[in-house]
Amino acid sequence: MNHSKAMSLLGLANRARKVISGEELVLKDIKSGRAKLVLLSKDASQNTSKRIQDKCLYYNVPVVMVDNREELGSAIGKEARVVVAVSDTGFAKKLTTLLERT
């Protein structure tokens, strides 16, 4: 299953310090052009979801939805996270490929 591979890869990206989590930090990375991919939890609040998606659309950053905040958090070894940004192009491309196939 590609989804678990994607979460493992996200963990690897995190250990390589290429992942940022938390709404405000992610928004900052989107605006600065550092975010290459944003992973957003399907159970994020409507407000958060809209803010992140609008910002990504405006700055042309791809957004991929993941099932839930626990999965996203555990992939990077943290508590539940509703949004993370990947700042490395290589990791972002591979994650997109893996997640779009699921």
> pLDDT at position 1, please?
43
Q: Concatenated DSSP letters for 47-82?
A: HHHHHHHHHHHHHT--EEEES-HHHHHHHTTSS--S
Phi, psi of 38 (to 5 degrees): -120, 130
> pLDDT at position 102, please?
52
Q: 71: domain CATH number? A: 3.30.1330.30
Predicted model pTM: 0.94
Number of domains in the chain: 1
Q: Average pLDDT, stretch 78-93?
A: 97
Do 73 and 79 form a contact (C-beta atoms < 8 A)? yes
Confidence of residue 99 (pLDDT cuts 50, 70, 90): confident
Q: Average pLDDT, stretch 48-60?
A: 98
- With a cut of 70, say whether residue 67 has pLDDT above it: yes
Between 56 and 4, residue with greater pLDDT:
56
Q: Average pLDDT, stretch 30-52?
A: 97
Q: Which domain holds residue 94?
A: 2-100
